[in-house]
Amino acid sequence: MYRYFCKIEYNGTDYCGWQIQPNGISIQETLNKYFSTILRESIELTGAGRTDAGVHAKGMIAHFDVSNIIPDKNKFIVNINNFLPPTISINDILLVNNDAHARFSALTRRYEYHIISKKSPFFINTAYKFTKSLDIDIMNEACRELMNYSDFTSFSKVHTDVKTFICDVKEAFWINNNDEIIFTIEANRFLRNMVRAIVGTMLDVGTKKITIPQFKKIIESRNRCNAGHSVPACGLYFINATYPEDIFI
């Protein structure tokens, strides 16, 4: 068997999330179906993350195993993209070691959250409209405080099956980008709903609803009830994952 990593873009609006679900069509199910058709054997893809319903990706990484090596990867990418629905595209495939794992071998994962301040037909279901004035400088101050902590229980969905709420946040910052305000965060791992809960709490900081000391106390409380609301899924994007160089062939 040969193992490949593939880089995937998708608009998650019409899907129930990455992972196969009994109550809707998922990204994973759709990819399994079309990869199996093209490669003429049963193919199952495993992703670097499990994005929720309505969440998008610009660089989701997934691995799959196939009996024969793919002789022309560019031809394969063209063929699979011709079959896939317009909301999903494959940007690259890379041959990796057989023990490389899209989820467990990842060193870091990176997300963005996109906000617009006014109505725009070009951002329907791809950004969160938030019309209140935001102080980006103080929100970036909150980002710097965020990286002083490792326990993010306050930003995790309750009743999850994780064994630890410890995450190593490598980077976090806000920028103004023309009509968008974009939050970027990179960490070794993320808890369920973590990014959306952090963004919701930082919007409280940016609108002066809470102060930086109060933001710190929310993190230290390790209580989800003390943090802000979870912002809508439409603004969240899985950007990429990084891996050790020696897993690639």
Residue 30 and residue 84 in contact, taking contact as beta carbons nearer than 8 Å: yes
Burial-class residue 87 by CB neighbours within 10 Å (0-12, 13-18, 19+). Answer: middle
Neighbours of 144 (CB within 10 A): 11
Identify the CA nearest to 234 among candidates 62, 51, 30, 19.
51
Query: Which residues on neighbouring strands pair with residue 186, listed in sequence order?
Result: 110, 171
3-state SS, residue 134: coil
Identify the CA nearest to 8 among candidates 108, 125, 94, 135.
94
Residue 231 and residue 55 in contact, taking contact as beta carbons nearer than 8 Å: no
Task: Give the residue numbers marked as catalytic.
Answer: 52
Listed in sequence order, the residues at least 6 apart from 183 whose beta carbon sits closer than 8 Å to its beta carbon are 112, 113, 115, 172, 173, 174, 195, 199, 202
For residues 116-140, b (16+ Cβ closer than 10 Å) or e, as one string? bbeeeeebeebbbebeeebeeebbb
Residues 152, 154, 160, 164: is their CA dihedral positive or negative? Answer: positive
Structure tokens at 78: 């063209």
Identify the CA nearest to 11 among candidates 47, 53, 45.
53
